[in-house]
Structure 1
Amino acid sequence: MRDDVTGPGGASLAEARAFLDAHPDVQGIDLALIDCHGIARGKTIRRHELEGLFTRGRGIPGSIFAQDVTGDDVEETGLVWSGAGGDCVCWPIGGTLGLMPATGRGHVLISMWGPDGQPFAPEPRNALRAQIARAEAMGFQPMGALELEFYLIDRERDGDGRHRPARYLLSGRKTTANNCMSVDELDEMSPFFDAVYAGAKALDLPMETLISEYAAGQYELTLRYRGLMRAADDAVIGKRLIRATARRFGMEACFMAKPFGHQAGSGMHLHLSLADGAGRNLFADPEEGVLSPLMLQAIGGIRGTIGDTMLVLAPFQNSWRRFASAVYSPADDTWGVENRTVALRVPGGNPAARHFEHRVAGVDANPYLVAAITLGAALDGIEAKADPGPPVTGVASEAGHVPDLPRGWLEAIERFEQSAFCHRVLGPAQHRGFAAVKRAEYQRLALTVTEAEWELYGFSV
């Protein structure tokens, strides 16, 4: 392959050679393939193998998308023994090769192609790829950004054996205060965040605003708005960067949706708009005080599908704990303007930069799947010229609207399994595989007796 020739993933040999020239001391490169849970799985290769990855790809079994969150195979996906368990070919994704300073190794996202030479259907990234291609055929360029909320957790548990927020790095103090949007809170953890920003620069990751969120040890990092596929790539790379950096500071980064029952949950808000071929925002207000009809149709399409897609937005048992307090974690299908209690929020600000924010997904959700079902529903709404209905102007939970949503994780699994929308947008293989993995995970946890059950019932009933 010539330096200027690109592989199926859009990466050229020149990219690999430039990385090797810029980092002569780097000996290892992590290959990250994102599974249905959003977990990076793959291999670490040596320096001399990098050019081969860019010219020939690298074999990885397609059954990686049949694994539950622990890495165990789920045979009901139909992927475990397909092709007698042979490898598919993974290729690097252009623009994602960079240095992960926390590890001292390179890092590159890879994507899978099947034996037929087509993008491997069960891979979440390829579900998003298909919806972006659909949008482009309609004359749209999807744009977006994802926000990451997370907790920093102490390595040592408290006296009762429970996890607790990390101590401040500068003073070593413990805190139980919310300290929401405290600048001093950020200063206390500044060595860690300085390292995260340095890592983001090395990875060409457009990481921007940092805030302390609404709980002790909880933070949010935003990523710059750009093409929707790159925005989803940014989210998965950003999570890995935060995790790897936290370990080097004696902490753990936690991306559970609700790690502490009485504290704020962690969301992953998706901001979305559509541009034309010249980059003009098609969701911009056509005149002062008037919202784009195209954007309202997109919102209408999404409102009609949130119930079917709750398993994507809240994929784990823990995800559903986040909705116990629904003021800032809306488990509904409402929309409104500059209203943080609704599911689909149209932010204020510059009318030329108008977009909407999907606020239901937890940070534990897979960014590619969240983006795929959101874009797919928006395009459906535009095709059908869907009416979003009236916006909510007060607190959504007090508006009297009763959404048609699943009431829990099992019902969400069943609704997803029966959804023609999810089957069409994600494709048959992705739809079947994700449902099978989640049902197996549900059954595993249904047989797990928790410590809380022992405390409440063990010697009382």
Structure 2
Amino acid sequence: MTTTASPSGSIVQEARDFLQAHPDIEAIDIVLHDSNGVGRGKIIRRHELESFYESGRHLPISILGLDIVGEDVDETGLIWDHGDNDLRAWPIPGTLKALHGTQPPRGEVFMSMYELDGRPMTSDPRHALTRQVDLLADEGLHPTGAFELEFFLLSNERGQDGGIKPAGDVLDGRESHKTEVYSVDHLHGMLPLFSEIYAAAEQAGIKAETMISEYAPGQYELTLHYRTDVMQAADDLMRLKRIVRLKARQNGITACFMAKPFADFAGSGMHFHVSLRDGEGRNVFVEPVEGEWSETILHAIGGLRATMGESMLVFAPHANSWRRFASQSYAPVSPTWGFNNRSVALRIPAGNPNARRIEHRPSGVDANPYLVATTVLAGIRHGLRHRVDPGPRTTGNGYADAQGAHPIPVDWRSAIEEARASDFLKDALGEDMHRTFTAIKAAEYARVAGTISDVDFDLYLHRV
């Protein structure tokens, strides 16, 4: 049976209002995010938008079974097992926005995949997150949160050694190859670009906030406003990455969202701040007496610690992701927790106790925020359900702390094996999303492992 009513809740009036408000827009990007967080879809013309809202858009099921470069991964079961049949994508209410500074003017809307009868297509990352949010709602809890976006701005030209190099300032071309961490003057050289990013974010309804010069040459961080809806928080992150990438390109430089582009400097994280509210809107992480942690936040941390090892593939999904984890690099190397401590994996930030939250720090900026949020919420649910003791908190140098009872994998291959065998992760993502994600990661690992790199020739060509 085929449904003609939108299962996403979208209504055609949204499209009509948008077209009336933006008579100059000629085309719209319709974007679905796969397990790697890559936006895939089509560009439709203005006159097609209403029909998209009325009846959705047929897309091949294989669009969710692609690896990072867009090759089919048959082991997902989403390619020839189904004859690469069409399913139907529907627009997500509230995600239809005008893009800033494009010529000719254009728009963008996110979409999600459904079976032809309207059931959620369960290898779509959005549906995995919706399921965890709904499970928490059944328990009277509602997650809120925000992601941090770290990224590099790189020159389109290579350095003398053939490697990548930080971009020169868009203001006057001035270059710096130093770690300009927290330098306000250094930020001024990129102000024309940052102003365009802020303007585009505002037009898209994103509350982009503080900009920081981060802990590596050419690295920056942009924080996002805390959302009462974690799906909106993930949407903000995905849309902002696209904005930064476009605006950098328009200014003649490259925005890089690799976790570790420079071997000798810190990588880029995607820290996820999360808290829970009850039906009355109260933050259940708030301690009854300041300094005496609530059982709720302790059990939540306990669940995240207990499940971190088998979940690391979600937080570090690519070969390059694993280069980010190094001692004293501001990336955690063990499942530690602590208060006001940036050397741990799970940090309770200082600040107003009424805003008490957990900062989940393992994820690189290359991770999929929908799957990160899904897995974090599932870990919190696990901790609350089983009243998991988080163990003693780390004080001082978290890099000196042993991994203890919950070690994390040491490399990408180990993470893939742990994720594949994990009953927790299978339940967290759902069986179909788990199979799809782990199959894609295994295929990507095989691609990387089978590639002869320059390092091989440098080490062995004249020596063995």
Same fold by TM (over 0.5)? yes
Amino acid of the residue matched to residue 20 of structure 1? L
Say whether 1:219 aligns with 2:239. Answer: no
Residue 30 of structure 1: SS of its match in structure 2? strand
Aligned to 1:393: 395
CA distance in 2, matches of 1:272, 1:52: 37
Per the TM alignment, residue 290 of structure 1 is displaced from its structure 2 partner at its CA by 1.9
CA distance in 1, matches of 2:57, 2:460: 52
Residue 425 of structure 1: SS of its match in structure 2? helix
Instruction: In structure 2, list runs of 5 or more residues that go unmatched.
Output: none
Aligned to 2:154: 153
Aligned to 1:452: 455
Aligned to 2:13: 14
Q: Deviations over 1:59-106 (max 9, x none)?
A: 111211111100000111111124321211111111111111143320
8 A contact 1:98–1:107 mirrored in 2: yes
Aligned to 2:143: 142
Structure-to-structure mapping, 1:63-82, within 5 angstroms: 63-82=62-81
Structure-to-structure mapping, 1:332-351, within 5 angstroms: 332-351=334-353
Q: Among residues 266, 269, 272, which one is paired with 1:267 in the alignment?
A: 269
CA distance in 2, matches of 1:453, 1:262: 20
CA distance in 1, matches of 2:292, 2:327: 33
8 A contact 1:6–1:13 mirrored in 2: no
Aligned to 2:298: 296
CA distance in 1, matches of 2:334, 2:407: 8
Amino acid of the residue matched to residue 438 of structure 2? A
Structure-to-structure mapping, 1:87-106, within 5 angstroms: 87-103=86-102, 104-106=105-107
Aligned to 1:247: 249
CA distance in 1, matches of 2:402, 2:455: 34
Per the TM alignment, residue 278 of structure 1 is displaced from its structure 2 partner at its CA by 2.6
CA distance in 2, matches of 1:296, 1:451: 47
CA distance in 1, matches of 2:139, 2:417: 32
Aligned to 1:442: 445
8 A contact 1:273–1:354 mirrored in 2: yes
CA distance in 1, matches of 2:133, 2:166: 39
Q: Deviations over 1:235-266 (max 9, x none)?
A: 11111111111110111110000001001100
CA distance in 1, matches of 2:367, 2:101: 24
Which range moved further: 97-106 or 295-304? 97-106
Aligned to 1:39: 38
CA distance in 2, matches of 1:75, 1:329: 34
Per the TM alignment, residue 324 of structure 1 is displaced from its structure 2 partner at its CA by 2.5
Residue 325 of structure 2: SS of its match in structure 1? helix
Say whether 1:420 aligns with 2:423. Answer: yes
Per the TM alignment, residue 343 of structure 1 is displaced from its structure 2 partner at its CA by 0.3
Aligned to 2:171: 170
8 A contact 1:102–1:248 mirrored in 2: no
CA distance in 2, matches of 1:326, 1:37: 28
Amino acid of the residue matched to residue 430 of structure 1? M
CA distance in 2, matches of 1:223, 1:9: 25
Q: Among residues 407, 410, 413, which one is paired with 1:410 in the alignment?
A: 413
8 A contact 1:152–1:165 mirrored in 2: yes
Per the TM alignment, residue 118 of structure 1 is displaced from its structure 2 partner at its CA by 1.1
Residue 282 of structure 2: SS of its match in structure 1? coil
Q: Deviations over 1:12-70 (max 9, x none)?
A: 32221221122111101001100010110000100011111111111111211111100
Amino acid of the residue matched to residue 449 of structure 2? A
CA distance in 1, matches of 2:63, 2:6: 22
8 A contact 1:6–1:12 mirrored in 2: no
Provide the aligned length of Structure 1 versus Structure 2. 457
Scaled by the length of structure 1, the TM-score of the pair is 0.97
CA distance in 2, matches of 1:162, 1:399: 35
Aligned to 2:52: 53
Q: Deviations over 1:114-143 (max 9, x none)?
A: 134211100111111100000000001110
Aligned to 1:190: 191
8 A contact 1:102–1:244 mirrored in 2: no
Per the TM alignment, residue 455 of structure 1 is displaced from its structure 2 partner at its CA by 2.1
CA distance in 2, matches of 1:450, 1:356: 39
Aligned to 2:109: 108
Per the TM alignment, residue 325 of structure 1 is displaced from its structure 2 partner at its CA by 3.4
Per the TM alignment, residue 6 of structure 1 is displaced from its structure 2 partner at its CA by 8.6
Aligned to 2:181: 180
Which range moved further: 401-410 or 124-133? 401-410
Q: Deviations over 1:177-233 (max 9, x none)?
A: 111011111110011110001100111112111111011110011111111111011
Aligned to 1:371: 373
Per the TM alignment, residue 449 of structure 1 is displaced from its structure 2 partner at its CA by 1.1
Say whether 1:119 aligns with 2:131. Answer: no
Which range moved further: 218-227 or 15-24? 15-24
CA distance in 2, matches of 1:107, 1:318: 30
Residue 123 of structure 2: SS of its match in structure 1? coil
Amino acid of the residue matched to residue 352 of structure 1? N
Residue 316 of structure 1: SS of its match in structure 2? coil
8 A contact 2:334–2:402 mirrored in 1: no
Q: Deviations over 1:139-172 (max 9, x none)?
A: 0111010001000111111122211111111121
Instruction: In structure 1, list runs of 5 or more residues that go unmatched.
Output: none
8 A contact 2:326–2:332 mirrored in 1: no
Q: Deviations over 1:350-373 (max 9, x none)?
A: 001100100000000000110001
8 A contact 1:423–1:431 mirrored in 2: yes
CA distance in 1, matches of 2:448, 2:460: 18
Residue 192 of structure 2: SS of its match in structure 1? helix
Which range moved further: 399-408 or 146-155? 399-408
Residue 83 of structure 2: SS of its match in structure 1? helix
Amino acid of the residue matched to residue 16 of structure 1? A
Per the alignment, do residues 74 and 400 of structure 1 end up closer, same or farther by CA in structure 2, a change over 3 Å counting?
A: closer
8 A contact 1:327–1:397 mirrored in 2: no
Aligned to 1:311: 313
Residue 305 of structure 1: SS of its match in structure 2? helix
